[in-house]
Amino acid sequence: MSQINDFVIKLANVNGTGSASANGLVMKTIFRMGVPVVGKNIFPSNIQGLPTWFEIRLSRQGYLARSGEVDVMVAMNAQTFERDLNEVSPGGVLIYDSTWPRERDITRTDVTVLGIPLARMCNETFANPRSRILMKNMAYVGALVALLDLDMSILHGLIEEQFATKKKLIGANVQAVELGLDYARKNFKCPLASRVEPMDKTAGHIMIDGNTAAALGCVYAGATVGAWYPITPSTSLMDAFRSFAELTRIDPETGEKNFCIIQAEDELAAVGMAIGANWAGARSFTPTSGPGVSLMSEFLGFAYYAEIPLVLFNIQRAGPSTGMPTRTQQSDLTLCAYASHGDTRHVLLIPDDPGECFDMAVQAFDLSDRLQTPVMVLSDLDIGMNDWMVPELSWDDNYRPDRGKVLDDEGLAKMDKFYRYLDSDKDGITYRTYPGGDPKGAYFVRGSSHNKYGAYTESSAEYQEVLDRLLLKWDTAKTLVPDPVIRISGESSTVAIVTMGSCAAACREANHKLAAKGIHLDYMRVRAFPFNEMVEEFLEKHDHIIVVEQNRDAQLRSLLLTETRVAKNKLHSILHYDGQPLDYRSVVTGVEKFLSQGELA
């Protein structure tokens, strides 16, 4: 099988050595050559000295998941050399720094090993100790240019862009690239069988991570107040919001900012601030990760019961507790669905890529204002921090925010008396007012029991009436949340895959691969909680449903069991929870194993 534009390069580095930007250049060069790419950064929770990997998959068919194989390994980390070598597929290539002899460790005969004296060449060429380390990365980039047949002029352009503000660094970087390139051309047969040929399949696309896209969504939705406490892997969302806001929301004449970003003292305060700002009429959000949601739970119950809008981004990481902060997982589904004590339930939106992060950020604000309740966007580290190839984001200038049922002074004037929690439209959603308006609209928010007029009550009937009305609002939410994405195989399948979020790309590819083997599965990706009628119908129509998700405890499966009419014996699981982004092979293997067990008899 030809490996042109269809292979995986994995780069094993030590973190803090500047490898990330070098690896990014390789991926971007391939992307600009028109070849679809997938980049996965597998990094440590550390600043300097621990192992880190970057995986670049080229997929001429445009698949966006990991393949689970490595064809070309660039092994720059002595610490992990052995396991990196073991990971290379038979027939693959390993590139390493031959400044230090490694012959003893190279035990495999089914792998082509290419040694390049990267450190020696850089030490001979560059004087400064720090540049010697940094330039080693650029030297292997150069070797890859020769070995993979990368377009040097594109790489050159990218280097110029990267150092646009530090122009004097361009020369040294290009020099280092040439060191590697020349060495590879002189000593090896270039290019390799795994090589890159220009295509035209990335036109109209961008490479962007989900946190950046979500931040753009917040800017476009009109969010003005962002409150947060730093936590991996959500931090880059607020960083991006700040930089976009600084670009687009500062008055050029006065320097006044049409936004306010507050770094809170902890997650409890961050969510409290976002709730306060939403209550006062601004659109406000907080990005966090699982441990933050644990801390925010008390306030989530408050916002649910007091009916205050709130947009929360949970960029999930591997738990429990501190867990693996720099690895991905989908293990906060149950936590977020029911966060806080008492009978609480929350609207969730679950994007599958950065494009959907952008769209759902906007949708989250609209839904939250419409439903007057917290809306959580459940992204994860894989979507949030890795660059994904997605169609260019688009914006409809006719968009107007849905602020929901808000009475202004004019609206209040038409009323005899205003009561905050009176359900006059019988959809469970009541009218609210912002502070600072007509005193007729003044009301008192409380997390303690209140009746439909907004007054404190300890009357059982009055208390229960409000609690029941919140359930009616939940039913209304089902009609407003985004539908699931459904693909019917056309082969009248009774077996289906059901999944969510970042599993989508691997499931899609697995579906194709299985179809090629004659196994046709229907597919549904749920995009929101509560589950709507389309989800119910799909579950009803299928006899065997394999739920693919990235957690140990089958949380999506449990939620489907609790919240839909589906029969327990219809649901099966493929669970992936090692912290690495899901690869399509795991799904294929999981489905085949399930089918071979004869459970479908």
Partner 1 sequence: MSFISKPTIIHKSQKRNGLGLTVRDYEGVSSTLCAGCGHDSVTAALVQSFWELDIPAQQVAKMSGIGCSSKTTSYFLSAAHGVNSVHGRMPSVTTGANAARRDLTFIGISGDGDSLSIGLGQFAHAIRRNLDMLYVIENNGVYGLTKGQFSASADLGSQTKKGEANLQPPIDPVKAGLAMGASFIGRAFSGDKNQLVPLIKAGLRHKGFALLDVLSPCVTFNDHENSTKSYAHTREFYHPAIHTDFVPPSKEILVDYEQGEVMEVKLHDGSSVRLRKVARDYDPTDRGSAFSYLMDARKRGEIVTGLLYIDPKGGDMHKRSGTAQKPLGRMDHAELCPGSATLKELQKAYR
Residue whose entry in the numeric block shows the structure tokens 């990368």: 150
Q: How many whole angstroms separate alpha carbon 13 and alpha carbon 24? A: 13
d(CA 66, CA 68): 6
- Is residue 435 a contact residue for partner 1 (CB under 8 A)? yes
By CB under 8 A, what part of segment 112-151 binds partner 1?
none
User: What are the φ/ψ torsions at residue 180 (nearest 5 degrees)?
Assistant: -70, -40
Contact 364, 311 (CB under 8 A): yes
Residue 546 and residue 496 in contact, taking contact as beta carbons nearer than 8 Å: yes
- Residues 304-333 close enough to bind partner 1 by CB under 8 A: 306
Report in angstroms how near the CB of residue 220 gets to partner 1 at its nearest: 6
Q: How far is the CB of 203 from partner 1 (least distance, A)?
A: 10
Angstrom distance (rounded) from CA 373 to CA 549: 27
Complex with partner 1: residue 393 or 595, whichever CB lies closer? 393
Q: Which is nearer to partner 1, 268 or 485 (CB)?
A: 268
Task: List the one residue out of 8, 10, 391, 363 whose CA is nearest residue 208.
Answer: 391
Is residue 474 a contact residue for partner 1 (CB under 8 A)?
A: no
Close Cβ partners of 458 (under 8 Å, ≥ 6 residues apart) = 449
In the complex with partner 1, the residue whose CB is nearer, 266 or 483, is 266
Name the segment binding partner 1 (CB under 8 A); options: 2-10, 88-96, 342-350, 445-453.
445-453
Q: If binding is defined by CB under 8 A, does position 416 make contact with partner 1?
A: no
Q: Which of 94, 208, 350, 375 binds partner 1 (CB under 8 A)?
A: 208
Nearest distance in Å: CB 221, partner 1: 8
Stretch that binds partner 1, among 96-104, 193-201, 377-385, 450-458 (CB under 8 A): 450-458
Q: Tell me the site size for partner 1, rule CB under 8 A.
A: 76
| Window 371 to 410, contacts with partner 1 (CB under 8 A) | 392-397, 399-401
Instruction: Give residues 26-65 in contact with partner 1 (rule: CB under 8 A).
Output: 32
**Position among 21, 185, 405, 443 found at the interface with partner 1 (CB under 8 A):** 443
Of the pair 198, 435, the CB lying nearest partner 1 is at: 435
Task: Give the pairing of strands 528-529 and 347-349.
Answer: antiparallel
Among 128, 448, 464, 597, binds partner 1 (CB under 8 A): 448
> Would you call 166 helix, strand, or coil by DSSP?
coil
Residue 260 binds partner 1 (CB under 8 A): yes
Q: How far is the CB of 174 from partner 1 (least distance, A)?
A: 21
Contact range with partner 1 by CB under 8 A, out of 106-114, 180-188, 455-463, 550-558: 455-463
Q: Which of residues 82-111 bind partner 1 (CB under 8 A)?
A: none
- Choices 67-75, 94-102, 248-256, 531-539 (CB under 8 A): range interacting with partner 1: 248-256
Nearer to partner 1, 167 or 568 (CB): 167
Region for residue 255 given its phi and psi (left: phi exceeds 0; alpha: psi -120 to 50; beta: otherwise): left
Tokens representing 249 are: 């929301």
Q: Binding residue for partner 1 (CB under 8 A) from 79, 86, 425, 456? A: 456
d(CA 63, CA 399): 32
Stretch in the footprint of partner 1 (CB under 8 A) among 119-127, 168-176, 200-208, 470-478: 200-208
Q: How far apart are CA 463 and CA 467, in angstroms?
A: 7
Least Å distance between CB 416 and partner 1? 16
Q: In what order do the strands lie in the sheet with 528-529?
A: 260-263, 225-228, 284-288, 310-316, 374-380, 347-349, 528-529
By CB under 8 A, residue 434 contacts partner 1: yes
User: Which one, 274 or 466, has the nearer CB to partner 1?
Assistant: 274
Cα angle for residues 27, 31, 37 (degrees, 5° grid):
70
Using alpha carbons, select from 158, 149, 159 the residue that is nearest to residue 195.
149
Whole-angstrom Cα distance, residue 306 to residue 142? 59
Please select the residue that binds partner 1; options are 49, 160, 280, 533, rule is CB under 8 A. Answer: 280
Dihedrals phi, psi of 22, to nearest 5 degrees: -65, -45
Residue 227 binds to partner 1 (criterion: CB under 8 A): yes
Q: Which is nearer to partner 1, 174 or 271 (CB)?
A: 271
74 versus 466: smaller Cβ distance to partner 1: 466
* In the complex, least distance from residue 284 CB atom to partner 1, rounded to whole angstroms: 6
470 binds partner 1 (CB under 8 A): no
CA dist 556 and 500 (Å) reads 8
B/e letters for 370-384, b = 16+ CB within 10 Å, e = fewer, are bbbbbbbbbbbbbbb
- CA dist 380 and 372 (Å) reads 25
| Strand (E) or helix (H) holding 207 | strand 205-209
Regarding 207 and contact with partner 1 (CB under 8 A), the answer is yes
Q: What angle do CA 88, 93, 99 make, to 5 degrees?
A: 105
Minimum Å distance from CB 359 to partner 1?
12
Q: Which two tokens stand for residue 372?
A: 């007057």
Residues 549-588 that bind partner 1 (CB under 8 A): none
Q: Pick from 153, 248, 494, 597: which binds partner 1 (CB under 8 A)?
A: 248
> 14 near 362, Cβ under 8 Å?
no
Q: How far is the CB of 65 from partner 1 (least distance, A)?
A: 20
Site membership for partner 1, residue 488 (CB under 8 A): no
